[in-house]
Structure 1
Amino acid sequence: MTLRFRGNGTFRVLQMADIQDGPNVNEDTIRLIREAIAVAEPDLVVLTGDQIRGYDPAYIDTFLRRRGDTPGEHIRSVTKFEAKVQGLEPEHVDLDTAMEHTRDKVRETFASFLEPLITADVPFAATYGNHDFQCGVLADEQDDMYREFPGCLNPRVPADTADANAVDANGDDPLACEAGTFALPIESSDGSGRIAMSVMMVNSGDYAGEVGGEDGEPGPYVETDAQAKAKHPITFSLYSQHSRAIDLADSAGYGSPSDQALRWLGDVQRHLGERNGDGLPVPAIAFQHIPPQEFYQCLREVPAWTPYAVEGARAFAGKCYLLDESKCRPGSLLGESIGCADTNCGEVDAMRRAGGYFALFAGHDHKNAFVGHVDGMDLGYAPTCGFTPYGPKSALRGIRLFTFHEDDPAMYDTRMLTWGELIGEPSSNELRVFVGDHLVTDGASFRNELRKPPVFATLALSVATLAHVAWHSLRKRRR
């Protein structure tokens, strides 16, 4: 399928982040997707990871805490609790049978959230987050499953992408690097075939470091790059001080794009320049799941008592931040810390060296919806569009719309299409949304809640009321 600017010189993209659901996708999520497509009439939808709630009780028999684990071996306690509440029990079947059941459930999940796209005949592309694989089906196989649905633009990855020159010589697609990392060229509206811009999908990895094995020995896990051990040492001291106990597998921090993907960012620009015949990089926007460390440059450090400030995570722990209004677009929102990798893999620098890249957008941090401009590149978020995972209040959950202009793609327009704007009524389960909006998983998230004046005032009033009741009760006893 050829993507092309419209006759009026525009191209519209919807970014859907963190659907993060099981086989029975929340009806509010589907309704939001359907309404956003009806309003935006997009030319492309990009799914930026964590479409699958890999730790959902539906996948309890094949759950993977980390790639390399034995399926179903390390089940989080919260998943066990959810399974009991839902009346789900492990099937106790052999692994092959369990995997087949999981594959069926993953296809069911895909079919649910893709239905509005397929009905509207909108093409889509997907990359992966840190929870997708945890259902037990890895990205390569999920890629094959996505291609079973009409409109999927995920290409088949080359057999060997170790050397970009070898890829071309073998006749493989140089636009495809690995599952979740590929380019989608968008041609000019005049039908000449000239590539006016490109959408780059990047697999940002999942978790860093190793998994502990038997007797404390390192387990078999390595991240997408064979150099993961050297790049991402285990940082248990950071984890013990600033853990996300309800989250999964992040004791060594989040992952980064592979070395192969980092090289590809430049290689693909050279290829596109050759296709255009001028050798110049094309204007490009990249979409991925986990944000790089440079996203913190969109923030400014503030005193710990500043209202609505959020604490940094892991490598940025111990400091509090607000959005830097001088760098961020109006309407930007910072709702939680930026969950980046502990080490900077140099992705943003690689984009700058390659040329052409004007923006990088991520998901992963469900409450963030800002767009900042740092050293010539936009860095931005889409919040969760799902109603099963944690996130902001209903009115702020949404899908990001981009409108690109053929004469200057870097001067794009973007805005959120939110539940509050599109639906304008409470969700079907406001209690769940409220809990997800105020979820406390560690000391930092508790302190972040206290920095919200309404939360602090409510808590203070509650404490004062309880103290008053206790005091009167004590006086009565003394009488």
Structure 2
Amino acid sequence: MIKNFFKKAISITLCIVMILSLVGYSNYPKKSVLKFRPDGTFKIIQFTDLHLSPKSDSKTIELMNSILDSEKPDLVILTGDNVDGRYCNSSQAVKCISDISKPIESRKIHWAVTLGNHDTEHDGIERAEMMRLYSNYKYNVGKVGDYNILIKKSNGIGAAFNLYMIDSGSYNLGGYGYIKQEQVSWYLKTALKLKILYHKLPSIMFFHIPLQEYKNVSKTLNIIGECNENECVQSANTGMFHALVKMNDVKGVFVGHDHNNDYISKLNGIILGYGRCTGYDAYSKNNYERGARVFLLNEKNPSEFKTWIKIYKNIR
């Protein structure tokens, strides 16, 4: 009986080792520290298009401080054009990143970043190097390139939710950047690995430049929020949305880039949405108030998350 017990134990251990080898466990996020609160909730703030540069005043940072204090999130996501590289040299860009980090790091909130088209436009910093700069901060849970972030169950055992962070590039084909075919392949492989480990793991995907499918949803009447400008979408369609439908794990895609849009809609069962432009030095229509998007996840029903826009009322 004891021999049989040890045989079963060895067999189970070998299976686990094989699975971890198959899924490339070492490629998972380096700081797996996020988990649902004891009450089963998890809150995310999406800041987008901060457009920080040496000419920026303090209003954008004031907004971040105010919203972080009022919402008290578990995680902050920055979805690109965090630094406006058109107006920075490399040392100035590093200073802007430091300024961005302070409201989050000082509150000991975990955070993650993806880049936009302006982050490295003229500041002399490569995209991989900029991502390394962000990942060096204590509470940053990101990594270089495309990556995913697991959110553990409230008891700390196993994962209950997943976030994909994708780099949608800068400029290509005479237009804006786009998600490359190899990135779609990375997503498909990662989603399959997560299914092997966790069976069903609902996810949200974040990047900067909208998919071409955003133009389809905005032409319908089924949108919630503001649509004040034509979508400036990716210059090529390499099938990411088709891959999302196929894998059926991503429940929502959220971007930035178009400063006057903050709507959400749904296509083939997947929410396509925008954050709310955060930076005061980003273009916008007159009197367009800045803010952030808030997400509230529920461990008991993680596929059905709540989301809303938080507007910052600037008193100046």
Instruction: Judge conservation of contact 1:395–1:419 (CA < 8 Å) in 2.
Output: no
What residue is the counterpart of 2:133 in the other structure? 145
- Which letter does structure 1 place at the counterpart of 2:131? D
Instruction: Judge conservation of contact 1:21–1:109 (CA < 8 Å) in 2.
Output: yes
Once residues 208 and 141 of structure 1 are traced to their aligned partners in structure 2, the CA distance between those partners, rounded to angstroms, is 20
Superposition deviation, residue 25 in structure 1: 4.1
- Which letter does structure 2 place at the counterpart of 1:138? E
- Bigger fraction of residues in strand: 2
The 3 A distance-change label for structure 1 pair 24 and 124 is farther
Return the match for 2:118 from 131, 142, 145.
131
Once residues 70 and 288 of structure 2 are traced to their aligned partners in structure 1, the CA distance between those partners, rounded to angstroms, is 17
- Bigger fraction of residues in helix: 1
Instruction: Judge conservation of contact 2:206–2:253 (CA < 8 Å) in 1.
Output: yes
Return the match for 2:223 from 321, 328, 331.
328
Instruction: Judge conservation of contact 1:286–1:360 (CA < 8 Å) in 2.
Output: yes
Return the match for 1:289 from 180, 192, 208.
208
Superposition deviation, residue 107 in structure 1: 1.7
Matched, 1:11 2:42: yes
- Which letter does structure 2 place at the counterpart of 1:122? I
Superposition deviation, residue 281 in structure 1: 4.3
Which whole-Å deviations, capped at 9, do the CAs of 1:105-148 have from their partners, x for residues lacking one?
Answer: 22210111211101111111111111111122011100111123
Instruction: Judge conservation of contact 2:85–2:93 (CA < 8 Å) in 1.
Output: no
Return the match for 1:406 from 299, 310, 314.
299
Once residues 410 and 398 of structure 1 are traced to their aligned partners in structure 2, the CA distance between those partners, rounded to angstroms, is 25
Once residues 356 and 365 of structure 1 are traced to their aligned partners in structure 2, the CA distance between those partners, rounded to angstroms, is 26
Question: Equivalent residue of 2:49, what SS?
Answer: coil
Residue identity (%): 27
Structure 1 gap ranges (5+): 60-101, 158-178, 210-251, 301-323, 427-479
Once residues 293 and 416 of structure 1 are traced to their aligned partners in structure 2, the CA distance between those partners, rounded to angstroms, is 23
**1:26-425 to 2 correspondences below 5 Å:** 26-56=57-87, 58-59=88-89, 102=90, 104-134=91-121, 135-155=123-143, 157=144, 179=145, 181-192=146-157, 194-209=158-173, 252-276=174-198, 280-300=199-219, 324-325=220-221, 327-329=222-224, 332-394=225-287, 396-420=289-313, 423=314, 425=315
Superposition deviation, residue 40 in structure 1: 1.0
- Which letter does structure 2 place at the counterpart of 1:21? L
Instruction: Judge conservation of contact 1:25–1:113 (CA < 8 Å) in 2.
Output: no
Superposition deviation, residue 337 in structure 1: 1.0
Once residues 185 and 51 of structure 1 are traced to their aligned partners in structure 2, the CA distance between those partners, rounded to angstroms, is 23
Which whole-Å deviations, capped at 9, do the CAs of 1:195-240 have from their partners, x for residues lacking one?
Answer: 111011111111112xxxxxxxxxxxxxxxxxxxxxxxxxxxxxxx
Question: Equivalent residue of 1:14, what SS?
Answer: strand
- Which letter does structure 2 place at the counterpart of 1:260? E
Structure 2 gap ranges (5+): 1-30
For normalisation by structure 1, the TM-score amounts to 0.57
For normalisation by structure 2, the TM-score amounts to 0.86
Which whole-Å deviations, capped at 9, do the CAs of 1:25-46 have from their partners, x for residues lacking one?
Answer: 4311001000110111111101
Once residues 207 and 37 of structure 1 are traced to their aligned partners in structure 2, the CA distance between those partners, rounded to angstroms, is 32
- Which letter does structure 1 place at the counterpart of 2:161? M
User: Which structure has the higher relative contact order (CA within 8 Å, separation 6+)?
Assistant: 2
The 3 A distance-change label for structure 1 pair 401 and 42 is same
Question: Equivalent residue of 1:361, what SS?
Answer: strand
Over the aligned positions, Cα root-mean-square deviation in angstroms equals 1.5
